[in-house]
């Protein structure tokens, strides 16, 4: 039995006296596409924030492969193979799209200030190689034509793609996608859906997906975790979860037809 890529055990988060979530427990296998759903305020993004070491949980354990995730500092996550996109986007607006993606390559580059400043041969090689890599990531999500555009001037959909490209460029083993299709139109949703499937299928990346779009979730996910008021109420394949009465009551309303 191989070790799961991510295993979460008894995880709990509080803000003062408000409990964001409690007793959250699940494992994600290597290469799985694992969705986290739940009504607004259920604690999904907070869960991601705990996994990204932004919030400190009051209880629980998290293992990323062999490592104790809760021992890592935020900046060590990239090296440990964890990348994420953000619900409200966290692009560096003044920087170009390409530079944004290159920040994703930061942890894979080795040159320090001195080598960079004199633009040594090593720095030049690194720059060239990683720029190429970044452009490929941009090409993958379809926006390499905008490489030199300042990120803040792009429309929402292109910015979301930039963030996806940046996360991919980090060469993660585990990818946390926080509502990658939120606020997008029909056509774009299916395009991004396809991209996510490609990343998952062709490149075998373990993906954790927070999403509201049930159609997308049922389409791409291997398993689904359902949160409601900070508690896990179901964790199974999409087909099973869809029919779980507790889930229907809490989140999906009366009887769901998969879109």
Partner 1 sequence: MVTELGTTTVETRRQPLPGTRSTHGSGGVRADPSRRGRAPLGWGGAWVLAVLLPFWLSEGQLSTATFIVIGAIGALGLGVLTGFAGQVSLGQAFFLGVGAYTAAVLGADHGWNAVLWIPAAGVVAAMFGALIGPTALRLRGLYLAIVTIGLVYIGQNVFTNATSLTGGPEGRALPTVHFANWLDFSAGNTLNLGGLTIDHNGLYYYLGLLLLSLSALFVWNLSRTRTGRAMQAVRERELAASVLGVNLARTKVTAFVISSFLAGVSGALYGSFISFAQPGDWSLTISIQYLAAIIVGGMGTVMGPILGSIVVFGLPDVIQNLSFVSQNGGGGLSATDFASIVYGVLIIVFLVVQPEGLMGLARRIPRRLGCSEGSMPEQRGDPPRRMTAATTKPEDQQ
Partner 2 sequence: MTQFWQLLFEGFSLGCVYALIALAFTVIYRSSGVINFAQGAMLLAGAYVISWLTVNEGVPFFGAVAIAIVALALSGVAFQLLLLRRVATQRPIFAVVMITIGLGTALTSGVDAVFGSSTRVLGDPWGSTALHAAGLVFDWVKLWAIVFVAVVLAAFYVLDRHSRYGLAMRATASDEEAALAVGIPVARVQALTWAIAGSLAVLAGLFLSGYPSSPNPSLGESALTAFPAIILGGLGSPVGAVVGGILIGLIEVLAQGYDPSWLGNNFYEIAPYIVMIGVLLAKPYGLFGVRPAERL
Binding residues among 92-131 for partner 1 as defined by CB under 8 A = 92-95, 99, 101-104, 106-109, 111-113, 116-119, 123-124, 126-131
**Token pair belonging to 243:** 């029919």
Return the exposure string of 167-198: e unless at least 16 CB atoms fall within 10 Å of the residue's CB, then b: bbbbbbbbbbbbbbbbebeeebbebbbebbee
**Smallest gap from residue 54 Cβ to partner 1 (A):** 7
Q: How many residues bind to partner 1 according to rule CB under 8 A?
A: 76
Q: Which of 24, 158, 177, 216 binds partner 1 (CB under 8 A)?
A: 158
Could you say whether residue 240 binds partner 2 (CB under 8 A)?
no
**Smallest gap from residue 49 Cβ to partner 1 (A):** 9
Binding residues among 201-220 for partner 1 as defined by CB under 8 A = 202-205
Are 61 and 70 contacting, i.e. CB atoms less than 8 angstroms apart? yes
Closest CA to 104 of 172, 57, 44, 159: 172
Binding residues among 66-105 for partner 2 as defined by CB under 8 A = 86-88, 90
Q: What are phi and psi of 155, to 5 degrees?
A: -70, 165
**Smallest gap from residue 151 Cβ to partner 1 (A):** 10
Binding residues among 49-68 for partner 2 as defined by CB under 8 A = 49, 52, 54
Answer with the entry of partner 1, partner 2, none that 126 interacts with (C-beta below 5 to 8 A by kind).
partner 1
Long-range contacts of 188-194 (CB under 8 A, 24+ apart): 188/157, 189/213, 189/216, 191/142, 192/160, 192/161, 192/164, 193/219, 193/220
Interface with partner 2 (CB under 8 A): 49, 52, 54, 86-88, 90
């Amino acid at each position: 039995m191989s070790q799961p890529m991510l295993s979460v055990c008894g995880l709990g988060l509080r803000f003062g006296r408000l409990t964001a979530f409690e007793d959250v427990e699940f494992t994600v296998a290597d290469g799985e596409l694992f969705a986290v759903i739940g009504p607004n305020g259920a604690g999904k993004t907070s869960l991601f924030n705990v996994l990204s070491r932004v919030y400190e949980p009051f209880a629980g354990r998290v293992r990323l492969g062999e490592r104790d995730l809760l021992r890592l500092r935020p900046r060590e996550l990239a090296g440990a193979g964890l990348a994420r996109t953000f619900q409200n986007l966290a692009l560096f607006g003044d920087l170009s799209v390409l530079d944004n993606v290159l920040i994703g390559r930061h942890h894979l580059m080795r040159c320090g200030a001195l080598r960079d400043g004199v633009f040594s041969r090593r720095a030049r090689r690194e720059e060239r190689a990683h720029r190429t890599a970044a452009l490929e990531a941009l090409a993958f999500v379809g926006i390499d034509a905008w490489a030199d555009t300042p990120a803040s001037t792009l429309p929402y959909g292109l910015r979301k793609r930039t963030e996806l490209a940046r996360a991919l460029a980090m060469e993660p083993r585990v990818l946390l996608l926080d509502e990658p299709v939120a606020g997008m139109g029909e056509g774009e949703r299916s395009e991004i859906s396809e991209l996510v499937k490609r990343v998952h299928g062709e490149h075998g990346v373990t993906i954790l997906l927070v999403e509201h779009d049930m159609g997308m979730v049922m389409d791409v996910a291997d398993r689904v975790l359902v949160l409601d008021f900070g508690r896990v109420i179901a964790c199974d394949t999409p087909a099973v979860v869809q029919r779980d009465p507790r889930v229907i009551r809490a989140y999906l309303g009366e009887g769901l037809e998969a879109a």
